[in-house]
Every structure is written in structure tokens, then in C-alpha cells.
Structure 1
């Protein structure tokens, strides 16, 4: 592959700055993908998180019934995706840092640990290297995630609740539908009688 390249560029690997908000205050515009959360050059999950953004938005908007839900969905998207992206980015930066160590003591320790595990028939991240184990645990979390499922959980926990509250606010109260009402309370029982006029 390197031989087929017509030119090569050396690009710095650095953690991009984080945007404070992805949703415009109007609630009608959102940044997603690389515009909201750019990943460093050489990262392996950059495209995957963009696809996961689309999957989560699709799951939210599957439940859209009226315009008033849009802002709530966009804010929920930012809420559930932002922390996720930060964790994936942290994992990516750790992996890039670990795999691009300059020649020296830490690079030799990493390589020795991987070789020893290989000779013992162990996985690269098994054994004594706690930093490598921590990286592996983060990587497993990256791959064991379903963006649609996470959005569906939000819908079940919060979206339905908000929708039902909105429906009850916009519903006409029963007493209003009856018109003027006289309330009659019987002194011999606790019964309350409602009578439409």
C-alpha cells in the first residue's frame, strides 16, 4: 500500500478541541459527525461514531409525532451521544499513543509484554501489563455498544413520559367538556355527584 501511494504526508496526531454544544439554542439545528466531534488522524472509530450518530437520530425521530418533540430529541441526542463520544475518543487517543510510542523504554516494555504473552499462548492484553488491560477493557466497551438501543432506552425512560405529559396537557379536561357543572355532596355519604347543566 505504501509503495502505491503517490505522496505521503506526516500529520500530527492530537486530540481535537471539544465543542460545548451541538444543538443550536433554537432547537432546530444540530451538528453531528465530524462537525460535532472530529477524531484525530489515524483513529479507527471516526466513521463508526458518525454512523452511530445517524442510527441514534433515526431511532429518536422514529417517534416524532409533532414539531414540539424536535428540540427535545436533539437535546436528548446530544446528552446520550456526547459522553459516549468522549469515551470512544479517550480510547482512540490511548490506542494511538500506545501504538506510536517513540523508541525507548516504554516502547520496549510494551513490545516485551506482547512477546511474552505471545510465547505463553496468551492474548496480547493478558498478563501483568495493567495499562494494556485497561486499554482492552475500554476497547471492548467501544465495540459492545448499540446506538439505536441506547436511544431506544432514552425513549422508554424519558421520551414516553414527556409524550404522555404533553398529551395530558393538551387534552381537554373532562369538566370543561361537560360545560357548567353543579357539585352536590350528600351529607349521609361521601359521594360526590356531578351534574351537567
Structure 2
């Protein structure tokens, strides 16, 4: 079987476990997964070893690690995020998860280890940059929305106030409707437009 056919077969197998996976970016033929036990300060095998795939998901261009377990049906599937810390220590690529779990990937091939660690670090940095951009864009859009909302509330309060005023004292050339029409912005159809994350 040539490399392209093998890649297609592997992608189909991964999609059975996670249909959102769109591509295999890199692989390593033999990886063993360990967890660090902070109580005893030792590494413990979790019973997962086999081929590791670095994958990409199309939605929001996310990346992750999938170790197809040769020992059982329990696989290791971890999506990368901006909070991860990745480092190489000896034969291990080590990372910390969001829930403060420390995972060690023992990678048999030294050339795979260096390449994969570099790739993972690149994706984590990209996730941080994308997260910062999304947060900045969300705050800018929220600020615009909140300004529209504030003007809308002020106009509604002004309308209530004008209705309580004796209308004989308001000049006939200026009606409450005309005053409000000049200042009331069109409210957004939906508040979801500013939540582009």
C-alpha cells in the first residue's frame, strides 16, 4: 500500500472516532502515553500505546493528538489549546492540560520527537494568537453593541418622560415622535452578531 492510500485509510479510521477530524498532519509509529502522579512524583503508564496522529479539525482550524491504542479500545485523544505548555525532556514530549494533568508522550523515534514537539508548540502559539484576536474582536463588537443598547435605553426613557409632560407646553413644530425618530438607532436584529468567536 502506498503512502497516500495508507493516509486515507488512517484518516477514515480516525473519523470513526471523531468525525470532525479533517486531516492527518503528522504521525509517529510508536508512542506510549504516561501520566505524572504528583503525589508520588512518578510517571505511570496509562495503558495506551500505538501509532500517534497529529490531526487538524476544520472547525476553527483546531489541532490535536490521537494515539490509536494497540492494547485496548481506549485511545488517547487530546485537542490542543492556548493554555497548554509543551516541552521536551529526554525521550518524552510533555504537556500540561487545562485541568492541570501532566501527560508524557514517550516517542520511540528521536527524529519524530523533535519534529512533533516543534509542531505542537507552533500550534499552541497559533491558538494563543487566535484566541487573543477573537477576544479583541469580541470586545470591540460588544462595545459597539453596548453603545447601541445605551442609546436605545436612553431613547425609551426619554419617550416615557415626554409622555408624562404636558404636551401643550411642547412647541407644535416638535413632537415627541420626531424627537425620538432622530435619535433612536435601529436595534440589531439579533444579539448574536457580536459573538463571533
> TM-score, normalised to structure 1's length?
0.27
Relative contact order, CA 8 A, sep 6+: which one is greater? 1
Write 1 or 2 for the structure with the bigger share of strand. 2
